[in-house]
Amino acid sequence: MEENIIVCENVSYKYNDNAKLAVDHVNFQVKKGEFLVVLGRNGSGKSTIAKHINAILVPTGGKVYVENLDTSDEKNTWNIRNKAGMVFQNPDNQIVATIVEEDVAFGPENLGVPPKEIRARVDECLKRVNMYEYRRHAPHLLSGGQKQRVAIAGVLAMRPDCIIFDESTAMLDPSGRREVMSTIKEINSKYNMTVILITHYMEEAVEADRIIVVDEGKIKMEGSPRNIFSQVSKMKKIGLDVPQMTELAYELRNSGVDIKPDILTIDEMVSELCRLK
C-alpha cells in the first residue's frame, strides 16, 4: 500500500536557455491512493511540476518516475499519459463532443478500447461523478461544475492510476466548486484513485493527506494540513493564506487568548471556544 506511484528526484526545468529555473531541484514522492495538495502563488511553478507528471514536459535536470517508468524515455510517454490523467482549469477547453456520453467516450476511443468495453466504462464513469442522468445532454448547456465532472469522467474512462487537477475548481462558483471537490474526494476515498490537487482554496487543501508548498520553483514546506497551516507567519511570508478558522485562531492568540494554534475547521473552533469558556 505504501508504494510510491510518482517519484521526483532533483527535478529542474527551464523553459528556455535564458530563463530562470521554473522548477528548481524539486524532490518529492506520491504514494498510491494518496491525496496530495500543491499550494503556491501564481508563477511559483505548480503547473510546470504538474506537466512533468504526465510527461507533457520532461525535466531539464533530474528524473521523474511514474510507476517506475522514466518520463525522459520516449518509449514510456504513451504509457505514462495513460497512467497519469490531467484535469485543467477551464471545462470549456476540455469538452470535445456535443453529447456528454460521446465526450466521455473520446479518451478510451483514442486508446483503441473495444466499443463494448467503452460503453461499460462510459456508464460506470458517469455514475462515479453523478452525471449519468445527463448522459444524453449537450455539454454546453451544463453548469460549470457539471462540465468539470464530465471532464473528470472522461479522464476516469481512460483508467488512469493517478489524476492531477490543475486548479480545476478555479473557474467555478461556490456550489460548482463544492460539487467538484466532493467528486474528487470520492474518487480518492471510494475508488482509491491517487489525487494531486493544485488549488488556491485553503478550505480544499484542508482535505489533503499531505500538502506541498511551492515557491519560486522550490518546495518550501511539506506536511499534514494541520502542520502546514499552523505555521501562519511562514505561509504569509510566502504570500499564501491559511483557512479562515486558522487565521482567526492566530489573531486570537496574538491578542493574548490561549487558543490552540492548529485549528482548521469551524467545528474545531467551536469546541475550542467552549473549552475556554
List residues near ligand ADP by CB under 6 A.
15, 19, 22, 40, 42-48
Nearer to ligand ADP, 40 or 225 (CB): 40
Nearest distance, CB of residue 1 and ligand ADP, angstroms: 30
Measuring CA to CA, how many Å separate 82 from each of 76, 79, 184? 10, 5, 19
54 is an interface residue for Mg ion by CB under 5 A: no
Report what 78 binds from Mg ion, ligand ADP, none; CB cut-off 5-8 Å by kind. Answer: none
For every residue of 181-234, DSSP letters joined together read HHHHHHHHHTT--EEEEE-S-HHHHTT-SEEEEEETTEEEEEE-HHHHHT-HHH
The residue nearest Mg ion at its CB is 47
Nearer to ligand ADP, 131 or 221 (CB): 221
Task: Name residues contacting Mg ion, limited to 66-85 (CB under 5 A).
Answer: none
CA–CA separation, 164 vs 87, rounded Å? Answer: 6
Question: Is the Cβ–Cβ distance between 69 and 79 less than 8 Å?
Answer: yes
Report what 174 binds from Mg ion, ligand ADP, none; CB cut-off 5-8 Å by kind. Answer: none
48 is an interface residue for Mg ion by CB under 5 A: no
Report what 45 binds from Mg ion, ligand ADP, none; CB cut-off 5-8 Å by kind. Answer: ligand ADP
Report what 40 binds from Mg ion, ligand ADP, none; CB cut-off 5-8 Å by kind. Answer: ligand ADP
Q: Is 184 left (phi over 0), alpha (psi -120 to 50) or beta?
A: alpha
Per rule CB under 5 A, count of chain residues that contact Mg ion: 2
Torsion over CA: 135, 140, 145, 151 (sign): positive
Burial of residue 234 (CB within 10 Å: 0-12, 13-18, 19+) is middle
Report what 180 binds from ligand ADP, Mg ion, none; CB cut-off 5-8 Å by kind. Answer: none
Nearest-10 Cα torsion for 90, 91, 93, 96: 170
Torsion over CA: 96, 165, 168, 42 (sign): negative
DSSP state of 32: T
Question: Of 18-26, 43-51, 59-67, 227-235, which segment contacts Mg ion by CB under 5 A?
Answer: 43-51
Nearest distance, CB of residue 82 and ligand ADP, angstroms: 23
Nearest distance, CB of residue 44 and ligand ADP, angstroms: 4
Nearer to ligand ADP, 44 or 76 (CB): 44
Nearer to ligand ADP, 33 or 40 (CB): 40
Question: Is the Cβ–Cβ distance between 101 and 136 less than 8 Å?
Answer: yes
Nearer to ligand ADP, 38 or 264 (CB): 38
Nearest distance, CB of residue 13 and ligand ADP, angstroms: 8
47 is an interface residue for Mg ion by CB under 5 A: yes
Report what 274 binds from ligand ADP, Mg ion, none; CB cut-off 5-8 Å by kind. Answer: none
166: which 3 cell numbers? 490543475
Nearest distance, CB of residue 166 and Mg ion, angstroms: 6
Q: Pairing relation of β-strands 210-215 and 35-39?
A: parallel
Which of 220, 196, 200 shows the shortest CA–CA distance to 210?
Answer: 196
Q: Which residues bind Mg ion (CB under 5 A)?
A: 46-47
